[in-house]
Amino acid sequence: MGDITVCPYCGTGCQMILEIGESSQRVVGYSRSPVNSGKLCIKGYSGLTYNFSSERLKYPLMKENGEFRQISWEQALEISVSKLGDISRKYGPDSIAFQSSAKCTNEENYLMQKLARMVGTNNIDHCARSCHSPTAIGLINTIGAGAATGSIASLEDTETFFVIGTNTTEQHPIIGAKIIKEVKKGKNLVVADPRRIQLAGLASVFLQFRPGSDVALLNSIMNVIVENGWEDADFINSRTEGFSSLKKTVSKYSPKVMEGITGIEPEKVYRAAEMIGNAKPTAILYAMGITQHIHGTENVMNVSNLALLTGNVGKRGSGIFPLRGQNNVQGSSDMGALSEFYPGYVRYDSGKLNNFSRIWGKEAPTQKGLSLSEMFEAAAEGKVKAIYIMGENPLITEASTQTVERGIDNLEFLLVQDIFMTMTAGHADIVLPAASSLEKEGTFTNTERRIQLIKRIYSPPGEARPDWWIIKEIGRRLVGMDDYSSPEDIFSEIGRAIYNYSGATYSNIYPIGKQWPINTDNPDGTEILHSKSFPIGRGKFIPVEYGPPAEQTDDEYDFIMTTGRNYFHFHSGTMSRRTDILERESPEPYAEINTNDSRRLNIKERQIITVESRHGSIKIRAKVTSKIPEGIVFIPFHFSEARVNELVGENYDPISKIPEFKVVAVKVIP
């Protein structure tokens, strides 16, 4: 049997074994894995050939007169360190920004944020900002930990699944398959989504609500629960605080009143509330349909309100499950690669940074850092002069890509390390070739908090090096960072920095991983969080009032556009679009438009249409479908040929700074 490693795609974190022959590679799911029990989706089985693409970056590159030329590692590191050092000395440490990556390991994310903070800035962020920063902040506020409360395996004990804002069978197919299996046994399924996703076909109740009306819908469900006395009074009395103010708020949201906002018939809300409140345990699963709004943090807190109201926290089969998009969103956030959080979610302004200063031998900075989008705005304004990006492609993935482009073009120095020459890397001054996750060791933490070891299966191509080695070499020369000998060396420091990781070692987490917290109190890890108490004492109800999305339709921009992923591709397509099987299945960008809308506008299947927002415009093929309601357009964001994020404006959740990707007013021009 070959080494067991972890799928490089979604946050489910399926375990796999690569069986390698002379000229072949066979991928099988690891049958003893509690995550995937031997199963994989198409990305796991067939999505790894990008690793051998001839387009892999193999040597360090420097741009001269608009062209890249190969240079040595010594030159690349020397130039990078000298540029970053000069800029820091000339303009101050906050003139440099660092972007980490949820595709990289915990060790690499830990080092990247440490480097930023040793340079003296909290300008460190990564793509979790654009997917689950509301989860980190919202759940810390309400239950004290920004993480899934249960395990994937524990969903076998669930009686009612409430799936809201996650197209689970496409984005997290193994978890989606688990839900289908349980529902086929007779369990309840409530699906809330603006699109008729696959799970809607199996649902006992399908709530096809208007984009951006999540708070109204959730308040309405809670209104019915409270009105009918279906709340869990024992749990509320013994484990929570703030119930009376929640009760007062949700009393205003009767399903009848809310019908005008959500578009859902009161009867359906009643049936959903009855199942969620009475047929327990209930598990609530959500993803970016909840978070990518200007009310993203409020949406998350309202999901938490519902779970606390019905006592669905701390028991097998119940819980809150934020499904993470990339394989290490949970881990990279745990590691503190976010501007407001140090490792273990210690806030930059908490006055509790002594442990980090002691471990790093340098005072931890206490000034506020910039979020991902703020970095590019600051660069466009000339305040940020250099950005160091690891494994991210913001020119495709960030909102308002025009601002990202203006910011990048205004920099004095852009340093990018990646496995391919991405669109963003093409704008860099220095590009450093990185090893893929199949070519290095380290750990990933999946969507259920499971810390899993990945093994080096292949050698990196050419002179490509693991990201941890690259950061360490830059850090060593720039700020005297430790000369780590291996990822394991870094992992033991993580254990000293984050108590929830303190009991994990490479040997005790292999092969099936362990769920944090792993520490002296929980040496074997913790499958179910909050079973006796919350880290903040009592769970807090934080009532939320409905507010409309930032953008509204009008006579001119009469459609709502929402963005997301499809089954075959992943994020900016850097990996999946270099994998033949996946690219063959989904080779080009498309906009889903409702059948009646297409008829009204005389748009045929595959016809090129223009989708224009108040911020930009793209040309794209139409895909006519009855899966989405009239007045809505869905566009996946994987495709550089039609960058949908050009249409997304600079509307941010004021709490988490996540952009509102899910509600954009557009017009459709045949």
Q: Do residues 665 and 559 touch, judged by C-beta distance below 8 A?
A: yes
Binding span for ligand SF4 by CB under 6 A among 168-176, 454-462, 497-505, 579-587: 168-176
- Per the CB < 8 A criterion, the answer to whether 382 and 411 are in contact is no
- d(C-alpha 606, C-alpha 283), whole Å: 39
9 vs 253 by CB, closer to ligand SF4: 9
* Integer Cα distance of 334 and 497 in angstroms: 11
Q: Does 43 bind ligand SF4 (CB under 6 A)?
A: yes
Output the CA–CA distances (angstroms, integers) from residue 318 to 303, 314, 321, 529, in the order listed. Answer: 13, 7, 9, 11
β-pair partners for 555: none
Q: Which two tokens stand for residue 491?
A: 């992992």
Applying CB under 6 A, what is the total number of residues that bind ligand SF4? 14
Cα separation, 555 vs 191, in Å, equals 31
| Start-end of H helices in 185-295 | 214-227, 233-239, 243-250, 255-262, 266-278, 288-291
Q: Which residues contact 383 (CB under 8 A, 6 or more apart)?
A: 94, 95
323 is a site residue for ligand SF4 (CB under 6 A) = no
Q: How far is CA 95 from the centre of its chain?
A: 26
Cis, bond preceding 281 (omega within 30 deg of 0): yes
Q: Both tokens of residue 270? A: 């009643």
Question: Strand, coil or helix: what is 183?
Answer: helix
Rounded to whole angstroms, the Cα distance separating 546 from 543 reads 10
Nearer to ligand SF4, 418 or 448 (CB): 448
Q: What separation in angstroms does the CA of 295 have from each of 347, 541, 622? A: 21, 17, 30
CA–CA separation, 108 and 327 (whole Å):
14
Q: Let me know: does 162 contact 282? Beta carbons within 8 Å.
A: yes
Q: Which of 120, 138, 146, 173 binds ligand SF4 (CB under 6 A)?
A: 173
316 is a contact residue toward ligand SF4 (CB under 6 A): no
Written as one letter, the residue type at 669 is I
Nearer to ligand SF4, 10 or 633 (CB): 10
Binding status of residue 41 toward ligand SF4 by CB under 6 A: yes
Q: Considering beta carbons, is residue 170 or 214 the nearer one to ligand SF4? A: 170
Name residues contacting ligand SF4, limited to 617-636 (CB under 6 A): none
Of 48-56, 67-75, 166-174, 280-288, which part binds ligand SF4 (CB under 6 A)? 166-174
Tokens of 296: 């993203």
**Among 170-178, 212-220, 513-521, 594-602, which window interacts with ligand SF4 (CB under 6 A)?**
170-178
CB of 50 to ligand SF4, least distance (A): 13
Q: Minimum CB separation from ligand SF4 for residue 417, in Å? A: 23
The single residue among 44, 211, 503, 616 that binds ligand SF4, judged by CB under 6 A, is 44
Q: Which of 172, 210, 385, 440 binds ligand SF4 (CB under 6 A)?
A: 172
**CB-based burial label for 244 (10 Å; 0-12, 13-18, 19+):** exposed
Instruction: Note whether 569 binds ligand SF4 by CB under 6 A.
Output: no
Residues 1-40 that bind ligand SF4 (CB under 6 A): 7, 9-10, 12-14, 36, 40
The nearest distance, CB 9 to ligand SF4, in angstroms, is 3
Least distance to ligand SF4, CB of residue 457, Å? 15
For the bound state, the minimum distance from the C-beta of residue 35 to ligand SF4, rounded and expressed in Å, comes to 8
**Residue with smaller CB distance to ligand SF4, 36 or 133:** 36
Based on CB atoms, which residue is closest to ligand SF4, 9 or 388? 9
Cβ pair 80, 386 in contact under 8 A: no
Question: Least distance in Å: CB of 443 to ligand SF4?
Answer: 15
Least distance in angstroms from the C-beta of 369 to ligand SF4: 30
Do residues 573 and 587 make contact, with C-beta atoms less than 8 angstroms apart?
no
Min dist. Cβ of residue 172 to ligand SF4 (A): 6
**Minimum Å distance from CB 4 to ligand SF4?**
13
- Residue 384, judged by CB atoms within 10 A of its CB (0-12, 13-18, 19+), counts as buried
For ligand SF4, give the closer residue by CB, 400 or 452: 452
Please report whether residue 174 would count as binding ligand SF4 according to CB under 6 A.
yes
Determine which helix (DSSP H) or strand (DSSP E) holds 413, and give its type and residue range.
Answer: strand 413-418
For ligand SF4, the closer of residues 44 and 211 by Cβ is 44
Side chain identity at residue 89, one-letter code = R
Q: What minimum distance in Å lies between the beta carbon of 114 and ligand SF4?
A: 28
CB-CB contact of 322 with 150 (8 Å): no
Q: Does 571 bind ligand SF4 (CB under 6 A)?
A: no
- Say if residues 393 and 130 touch (Cβ distance below 8 Å): no
Q: Between 288 and 384, whose beta carbon lies closer to ligand SF4?
A: 288
Measure the N-to-C terminal CA separation of the chain; round to a whole number of Å.
55
CB of 451 to ligand SF4, least distance (A): 15
Considering the complex, state which of residue 146 and residue 173 has its C-beta at the smaller distance from ligand SF4. 173
Our CB check for ligand SF4 shows the closer of 444 and 534 to be 444
Q: Which C-beta is closer to ligand SF4: that of 397 or that of 400?
A: 397
> Does residue 131 touch ligand SF4 according to CB under 6 A?
no
Q: Please give the C-alpha separations between residue 388 and each of 73, 429, 474, in angstroms, as whole numbers.
A: 16, 10, 11
133 or 328, CB closer to ligand SF4?
Answer: 328
What are the beta bridge partners of residue 534?
Answer: 537
- Give least dist CB 51 to ligand SF4, A: 14
Q: Which is nearer to ligand SF4, 10 or 386 (CB)?
A: 10
Residues at the interface with ligand SF4 (CB under 6 A): 7, 9-10, 12-14, 36, 40-41, 43-44, 172-174
